[in-house]
Amino acid sequence: KRIINTLVEENKVTGWDDPRVASIAGLRRRGYTPDSIREFCRRIGVTKMDNQVEMSMLEACIRDDLNANAPRAMAVMDPVKIVIENYPEGEQELLDAPNHPNDPEMGSRQVTFSREIWIEREDFRESANKKFKRLVLDKEVRLRNAYVIRADRVETDDNGEIQTIYCHYDAETLGKDPADGRKVKGVIHWVSAETAKEAEFRVYDRLFQVPNPAAEEDLFSTLNPESLVIKKGFVEANLANAKLGENFQFERLGYYCMDQDADTEARLIFNQTVGLRDSWAKIEQQQATES
């Protein structure tokens, strides 16, 4: 509490409910569920001795909870546009997408497919080796719950930055493999450029760069400058009706929940609860080896 109070007074965080702060208010705003916190308490037990618990244990609890219970949705945080040139202009279609791949009881939703879509910029390369299982120029990839597309050409700006990727789609591949037997291994997520909603994504990381900041002489020197990164992108149209605090797994991106600022600012704002994997595992292992 002393450390949190210092951070609040020095304006290093926005308040006691800042999602980076390990307070009940902060955890709730970040999307941690009561079940995940109770499970964390069960795992660590009770002791009268001073003790330290790795942050990864708490993150594992919420990850396990949301993996089982959070509905899936599609979002694009660093968008680049795709134009499917052989798809009819002005037309749209509704495709069925499961809310959870392993739980049919959670039902399904409909997502709009159109001639123009957004994908993640990192999901496309003009050239790549065989290990890259996403979209590559002159090669194919499947759009999640949709069709197989092939990248034909790109359009760049004056700085060489890709602005548009022109593709064509195989109309016979909705829900099935290509009829000629060719294999398409990669799958990427997307949202319709015509119906997607603009959104802000607050990507949170650990507030400190060391396991025990209280032991450091200069507390502020241990703050992680990347503990909050704000991104602007798009979410599928269904999320326009998301409720405050509602959890989702944004496919291939992580677990997110609607932030309270969305109500006051009348726009879609999502907080990252936790990533799909423990990104700090290798860092902590390296630190332990060095020490």
Domain ranges of the chain: 2-69+197-290, 73-192
Report the predicted TM-score, pTM, of the whole model to 2 decimal places: 0.90
Strands 75-76 and 228-235 come out as antiparallel
Q: Which of 44-53, 54-63, 207-216, 276-285 has the lowest mean pLDDT?
A: 276-285
Task: Let me know if the fold of 2-69+197-290 is the same as that of 73-192.
Answer: yes
Give the CA count within 13 Å in the CB-facing half-sphere of 104. Answer: 0
pLDDT on residue 239: 97
73-192 fold: Ribosomal Protein L25; Chain P (2.40.240)
**199-224 pLDDT, tens digit each:** 999 999 999 998 888 788 888 999 99
CA-CA distance, 152 to 80, in Å (whole number)? 15
The answer to whether 280 and 208 are in contact (CB under 8 A) is no
160, 170 Cβ separation under 8 angstroms: no
pLDDT value at residue 217 = 85
Question: CA dihedral defined by 172, 175, 178, 181, rounded to 10 degrees?
Answer: -150
Confidence of residue 50 (pLDDT cuts 50, 70, 90): low
CATH topology of domain 2-69+197-290: Ribosomal Protein L25; Chain P (2.40.240)
Where does the pLDDT of residue 51 fall: very low under 50, low under 70, confident under 90, or very high at 90 and above?
low
**Confidence category of residue 172, pLDDT binned at 50, 70, 90:** very high
pLDDT band at 181 (very low <50, low <70, confident <90, very high): very high
Sign for the CA dihedral angle at 280, 285, 289, 291 comes to positive
Q: Residue 68, by phi and psi: left (phi above 0), alpha (psi -120 to 50) or beta?
A: alpha
Q: Are strands 92-98 and 162-170 parallel, antiparallel or unpaired?
A: unpaired
